[in-house]
Amino acid sequence: MPARYTQERVRKAVESRFGPGSWPGTLKILEQYREREPWRVQLACVLLSEGKIEKLKHYVDVALKDYRDVLYWTRLPPEDDE
């Protein structure tokens, strides 16, 4: 079974919320979070950000303190959850 959460999925979410060409700038923010389940957590931060850089920075900071908060708020299922 292919991975549910990938960098490509995060990139597509970024470009749909922040616009085409926004990936390089947002990637620098998202890469601050490299702990557990990075693609899932980064996707959650993008979804919560509503396309606003300041909100993205905020949710990445939240994830760095406790990544479970952003996962709880978005209800993204675990990678192996069917």
pTM higher than the cut 0.85: yes
The pLDDT, as a whole number, for residue 1 is 58
Residue with the bigger pLDDT between 17 and 78: it is 17
Higher per-residue pLDDT: 3 or 49? 49
Interval 6-34: pLDDT, tens? 999 999 999 999 999 999 999 999 999 99
Percent of the chain residues topping a pLDDT of 70: 95
pLDDT at 44 over 70: yes
Instruction: Give the 3-state DSSP-derived string for 4-51, with helices as H, strands as E and coil as C.
Output: CCCHHHHHHHHHHHHCCCCHHHHHHHHCCCCCCCHHHHHHHHHHHHCC
pLDDT score recorded for residue 82: 47
Domain boundaries defined on the chain: 7-74
